[in-house]
């Protein structure tokens, strides 16, 4: 399985990393590999993702929907998607979303606050900018049944039945009782109450 690096676009093949310690400054030239591809998110309707998550397995997506967060709930859905199960949310990178739900111990590499979150062999990231801080603050304060509208960029990990290397069928799911597909947030594009 290949991993795709999500890096900002660069105008040159070299980047200069400068650090300073007190008044002493040093610069290091780092070569950029010539074959690094910048992965762009696919803009997709949330209902399409919810109704057919396997079609978007491991893809980087940009979606807009309503976020609910509370005890045993951190989900992205939309009323117009019908009775479909919303996507379970988790933050990429090292910091967990800190939502209490059943069966979290079953994650192979749960977020621990210092190491990046890995899901199905894919390392995740999080851009923790001002929009993310606002999103985290607002969603942590939501009362049961209340939602915030958000546009998010993240990677999807579909729930469903899979055949493993030994030929056995395995059920995979995420979130509360493992009932949902997982959307790992990498960036908050917009959030409003």
Between 80 and 44, whose confidence is greater?
44
Question: In this predicted model, what pLDDT tens digit does every residue of 118-154 receive, in sequence order?
Answer: 888 999 999 999 999 999 999 999 888 889 999 999 9
Count of C-beta atoms within a 10 Å radius of residue 48? 14
Give bridge partners of residue 26 from the DSSP assignment: 19
What is the DSSP secondary-structure string of 35-91?
TPPPPPPEE--HHHHHH-GGGGTT-EEEEEEEEEEETTEEEEE-GGGTTPPPEEEEE
Q: How far is CA 92 from CA 16, 136, 181, 186, in A?
A: 26, 13, 15, 5
Q: Which helix (H) or strand (E) holds 149?
A: strand 148-157
This prediction has a pTM of 0.73
- Stretch 150-176: mean pLDDT, rounded? 85
Confidence at residue 64, expressed as pLDDT on a 0 to 100 scale: 97
Determine the average pLDDT of the residues in 160-182: 79
Going from N- to C-terminal start, the domains of the chain cover 42-192
Q: What share of the chain has pLDDT > 90, as a percent?
A: 43
């Amino acid at each position: 399985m290949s991993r795709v690096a999500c890096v900002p676009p660069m105008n040159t093949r070299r980047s200069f990393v400068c650090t300073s310690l007190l008044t002493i400054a040093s610069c290091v030239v780092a070569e950029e590999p010539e074959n690094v591809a910048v992965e762009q998110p696919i803009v997709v309707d949330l209902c399409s993702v919810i109704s057919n998550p396997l079609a978007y397995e491991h893809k980087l997506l940009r979606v807009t929907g309503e976020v609910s967060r509370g005890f045993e709930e951190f989900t992205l859905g939309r009323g117009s998607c019908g009775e479909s199960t919303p996507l379970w949310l988790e933050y990429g990178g090292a910091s967990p979303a800190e939502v209490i739900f059943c069966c979290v111990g079953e994650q192979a590499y749960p977020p621990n606050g210092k190491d990046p979150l890995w899901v199905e062999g894919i390392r995740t990231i999080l851009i923790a900018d001002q929009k993310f801080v606002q999103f985290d603050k607002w969603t942590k304060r939501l009362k049961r049944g209340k939602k915030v509208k958000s546009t998010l960029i993240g990677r999807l990990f579909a729930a469903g039945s899979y055949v493993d290397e030994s030929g056995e069928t395995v059920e995979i799911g995420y979130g509360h009782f493992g009932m949902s597909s997982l959307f790992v947030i990498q960036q908050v594009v917009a959030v409003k109450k």
